[in-house]
């Protein structure tokens, strides 16, 4: 009986850990909220918003050919997972004066999943 109980506990712990991880497929579904204004991948171009290749590690306002707001260019932000998570919850609160009109994503797991999806793409839009 103890073995079954231990196995059940281990399975439950593994399932809980997986729920807290990042799910790239779920992140790709979340990306649908972004794709009206942004592109990603090898053929990505700037649209209403800048292309998002190589976002993590990039300085805010640094995509060539995109006309950023002064607030975004002067924010001093270097995108990492924590900064992106804070920003995507409420872009106008993180960078007052940004041109980005988006209500935000509030769900922590969805943000993690979206971040995992975005992190796949290097600065050239390739998946290493």
Residue 88 belongs to a domain: yes
Q: Domain holding 60: CATH number? A: 1.10.760.10
Three-state DSSP state, 59: strand
Residue 17 belongs to a domain: no
Count of domains forming the chain: 1
Instruction: Give pLDDT, residue 20.
Output: 59
- Note whether 82 and 66 are within 8 A (CB): no
Instruction: Give pLDDT, residue 21.
Output: 85
Residue 11 belongs to a domain: no
Three-state DSSP state, 20: helix
Distance of alpha carbon 21 from alpha carbon 121, whole angstroms: 19
Residue 124 belongs to a domain: no
Residue 71 belongs to a domain: yes
Number of H helices, E strands in the chain: 6, 0
Residue 7 belongs to a domain: no
Question: Which residues constitute the domain of residue 37?
Answer: 23-119
Mention every residue, 6+ apart, whose C-beta is less than 8 A from residue 60.
68, 72, 73, 75, 76, 77, 78, 79, 95
**pTM for this one?**
0.82
Residue 41 belongs to a domain: yes
Which of the residues in the chain have pLDDT under 50?
Answer: 1-19
Residue 47 belongs to a domain: yes
Alpha helices in 21-107 (DSSP H): 24-31, 70-73, 81-89, 91-94
């Amino acid at each position: 009986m103890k073995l079954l109980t231990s196995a059940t506990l281990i399975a439950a712990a593994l399932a809980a850990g997986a729920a807290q991880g990042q799910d790239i497929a779920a992140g790709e579904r979340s990306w649908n909220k972004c794709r009206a204004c942004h592109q990603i991948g090898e053929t990505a171009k700037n649209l209403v918003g800048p292309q998002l290749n190589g976002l993590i590690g990039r300085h805010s306002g640094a995509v060539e050919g995109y006309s950023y707001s002064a607030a975004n260019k002067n924010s001093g932000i270097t995108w990492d997972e924590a900064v992106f998570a804070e920003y995507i919850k409420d872009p106008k609160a993180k960078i007052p004066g940004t041109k980005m009109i988006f209500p935000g994503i509030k769900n922590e797991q969805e943000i993690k999943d979206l971040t995992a999806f975005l992190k796949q793409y290097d600065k050239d839009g390739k998946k290493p």
